[in-house]
Structure 1
């Protein structure tokens, strides 16, 4: 299999390591606008399978230089670049996969479905952990029900580190935090305020998996994510009434204060005669994602002590005239992730495993 991997950021690096280790993969073309990062990745992995290319992922014609002749284009770039990469893959006669979506362009991206089908190609949207694994689990439950009425996705995570460390692009992370979440309710998509929908949700087996957390109940809040968008579109014919996504971050009240102070605003403000965009300052001051080798060093030196994640997909429906509830859950620890792919974190390992499988 020949792969064009667009994006050599934190997720792209772990994906590339997974592809290199896969005996069915014969070639990985790593493409990024930052040629030095792609070259550093190739040098770290030391594999003849890897070649590096400088590419402007917003330019279809430029993308075609690396997408022509591959079997699949894997998009690990920022989600606002999805559409040109989708188009380049289609023009190249390649299959397509990405990790996340822009909420505003989901329908536009789905609009290419017929063209992909006619070309005998497959395109998969949002195949990380969440979205991705969560949607696969929801589909698994839905296929075992006559009717699907409610789908709830809940994520719990915890980090123990001696210094601030980012696990995701700060641009994407802060945009998701500040964005009004979408909920599928009564057959319609509705937006709700960020940090609303506070509830004490009981995670199944959380204490069994992580005994020191003390309780299966954790405070969860609405968070902008793809799952309600996907499920509201694809489970509607099975009678879906409600779908949401909530997470349980330990520091959500701090995040709320940052947003309410206006620090995620993209509107320029005057600071002593200088025009400043608050979001630009916030992103500049936020911890940046590291190179895979740097994560490896932080883990081995005991600076990044632990990172744990637990997710559950809670599906309610009907089978044979009886109400049925399916709870499907998964978890990962930093130790297990790092053992399997050195330098991967819980976040990157969970995100990249579905996409690389």
Structure 2
């Protein structure tokens, strides 16, 4: 059916590649491109026996001209961007120049400021419309599946949704005293930034990790959850009818929080360059270099994740609650694709989103967040491709 250029060769990219190769009717040919071409070659070697034709390329995704040249050479039907969020705009520019559809899993953020917002990418709406191509933003799990869940809830169960609580729990244990489950730079920037929640038309800011609750998650039990800012709140606030309040919660253990506070107190989480022995280094980038590579956590991680959304609203004038979630097992994911559940829960939706575009189920000119498309074929695909969901109609609410 189509050709996909996959930019990136980290943990999430590895899952996307595995999943595309499991789905050769849709992904007849893929090209894996990254600055470290040896990682691309290693992935190709692992998967070369399948029906999907695989090629690799060396690519500096910061360089739009290089991306354009590769697109012109490979001629993909879609570009799946699972590189770094700093590179979203250069890749979008290349897709515009070549009139090729685009999909990513994380919003653009500038290198020098920890920002989690869509304004830079939304600014491309008109250009993509004029070019007649589709850009799908944030098609991982959160953002991503959480937006699909929201569109599904709205379509099938509610006339109006008043409140959304997004809950992201990782009960996995990798045995290290401190490590991050995805890119340490992005992960630590996200957690050390101010929290915020949406209420009555505005975002209310909180101190980092200021608001804490305990929630009893299906299949993994009681966990400490902390209120964070997360970019999908920004698009859901615009796209979900009747919304009054949105909060995003993530679990962290006490051990994790203690390590993080110490690192923050000694300046290791700063993104301000410092002079060290005649050269400038960014402390957070140095910390990333000394922490375990998230891709190495797969074989060590045991336990489960639970990510989902609780909705409160009305249907036919009556109050209604609805909880939809996925539980994913780290060890099962590793057995299947050689990655832990954090990469798996991001990579599978990226493949499904690209499939939706190639199958023309999510194909319209412009720049879109996932909740702006029909959720039904995506929800069906989640069950088929490894992220089955469950639902409850009388969940415990977060107070």
Tell me, yes or no, whether TM beats 0.5: yes
**How far is 1:313 from its partner?**
0.1
Equivalent residues of 1:195, 1:252 under 8 A apart = no
CA change 1:118–1:286 in 2 (3 A) is same
Most deviating of 80-89 and 70-79: 80-89
Scaled by the length of structure 1, what TM-score is found? Answer: 0.86
Deviations 1:99-144 (A, max 9, x none): 1113455112122223323433221111111111111112211223
**How far is 1:28 from its partner?**
0.7
- In the alignment, what sits opposite 2:124? 112
- In the alignment, what sits opposite 2:246? 243
Most deviating of 152-161 and 4-13: 152-161
**How far is 1:26 from its partner?**
1.4
- In the alignment, what sits opposite 2:166? 153
- TM alignment of 1:116-195, pairs within 5 A: 116-143=128-155, 144-163=157-176, 166-195=180-209
1:326 corresponds to 2:322: yes
Distance 2:196 2:101 in 1: 29
CA change 1:133–1:81 in 2 (3 A) is same
Secondary structure at the residue paired with 1:328?
A: strand
**How far is 1:276 from its partner?**
5.8
Secondary structure at the residue paired with 1:336?
A: helix
CA-based RMSD = 2.4
- In the alignment, what sits opposite 1:283? 288
1:354 corresponds to 2:367: no
Equivalent residues of 1:333, 1:346 under 8 A apart = yes
CA change 1:79–1:272 in 2 (3 A) is closer
- In the alignment, what sits opposite 2:32? 30
**How far is 1:165 from its partner?**
5.9
The size of the alignment, in residue pairs, is: 336
Deviations 1:273-323 (A, max 9, x none): 987643233222211233xxx66xx63xxxx15141011201111222222
Distance 2:167 2:121 in 1: 26
**In structure 2, which of residues 237, 260, 264 is the aligned counterpart of residue 255 of structure 1?**
260
Equivalent residues of 1:67, 1:92 under 8 A apart = yes
Secondary structure at the residue paired with 1:174?
A: helix
**How far is 1:247 from its partner?**
0.8
- TM alignment of 1:14-53, pairs within 5 A: 14-24=15-25, 25-46=27-48, 49-53=53-57
**How far is 1:63 from its partner?**
0.4
**How far is 1:168 from its partner?**
1.2
Equivalent residues of 1:195, 1:256 under 8 A apart = no
Equivalent residues of 1:170, 1:287 under 8 A apart = no
**How far is 1:57 from its partner?**
0.9
Structure 2 unpaired stretches of 5+: 110-114, 353-399
Distance 1:273 1:58 in 2: 26
Distance 1:224 1:45 in 2: 37
Deviations 1:220-258 (A, max 9, x none): 1122322212212322xx221111211111123432343
